[in-house]
Structure 1
Amino acid sequence: MLIRLVEHIDLNEAFAYLNSPTAGAVNFFIGTVRNQTKGKEVLHLDFEAYDAMALTQMEKLANIAMHKWPLVGVAVIHATGAKQPGTPVVLIGVSSAHREASFEACRFLIDELKKSVPIWKKEYFEDNSVWVNAHP
């Protein structure tokens, strides 16, 4: 398992980790910073995490996915710090022999990450900033 909190997500590193002769499918969800929210222009976002708890919960979710589906590999990576629109901020990657397992596990991992991993984001607009309750 590749479980990380990082300043910058390296897409090539994640693919190299997940790619395997036994994997017929490598599936990614990559979440990026939008340039608007509710019609307001987003200047940038700041992500903060409770590192030890976040990594533990990310690993727990990866283990659940590995036991629920026949996966070859799992990558769960989230960026922290200030991020500009268009920047990747979360990567969920899974590899498996067949595509169905990789699609299902990928969706499970991003949905559960957003529900249970202690990572918070603050959106900055021209006139104000707000903390968003996207994570616990």
Structure 2
Amino acid sequence: MKVRMTRNAFDLNGALGHIAVPEAGGYVFFLGKVRSESHGRRVRKLIYEAYEEMAEEEMERIRKEALEKFPILDMLIWHRYGELEVGDDTILIIASGKHRKEAFEACIWAIDQVKRRVPVWKREVTEEGTFWIEGNKVVPEK
């Protein structure tokens, strides 16, 4: 599967196997992880909620747009949901290209699009409380 929402940790080699081809000279991985600090607060965990079917459809649109926009060979986009601890994987994007430059550019573009367009909502559970994260905006949970 080149696009998926999952509760499971990523297998990077398994993921690569979905897009590996002999023509590719470069693979760029973007691996997002739960970090221990955000907006000056210590993070205990993240809770990702998603409209799974719609999220996968939008990630597939992003994947197809990337294939049209950049001279890459393929792209994989996987996103986790559920409760994730500090250090857990959150998102994986792999772009393959004949050369590294286009794979890097496509990967950067894709993560920005996923953050902007995919219906996934993030809550940070911190020592100070729980907060919804909307882009760069932090909204306390009521």
TM-score tier, shorter chain, comes to over 0.9
Q: TM-score, normalised by structure 1?
A: 0.93
The aligned counterpart of 1:68 is 69
Rounded Cα–Cα distance in structure 2 between residues aligned with 1:22 and 1:106: 18
Rounded Cα–Cα distance in structure 2 between residues aligned with 1:65 and 1:126: 39
The aligned counterpart of 1:3 is 3
Q: CA RMSD in A?
A: 1.4
2:109 maps to 1:117: no
**Structure 2 unaligned blocks of 5 or more:** 137-142
The aligned counterpart of 1:43 is 44
Q: Secondary structure at the match of 1:109?
A: helix
**4+ aligned runs moved over 2 Å, structure 1:** none
The aligned counterpart of 2:16 is 15
Q: TM-score, normalised by structure 2?
A: 0.89
Q: Secondary structure at the match of 2:18?
A: helix
**Structure 1 unaligned blocks of 5 or more:** none
The aligned counterpart of 1:96 is 97
Q: Percent identity?
A: 36
Q: Deviations over 1:56-98 (max 9, x none)?
A: 1100010001111222221000000110111110011110111
Question: What letter corresponds to residue 20 of structure 1 in structure 2?
Answer: V
Rounded Cα–Cα distance in structure 2 between residues aligned with 1:94 and 1:14: 11
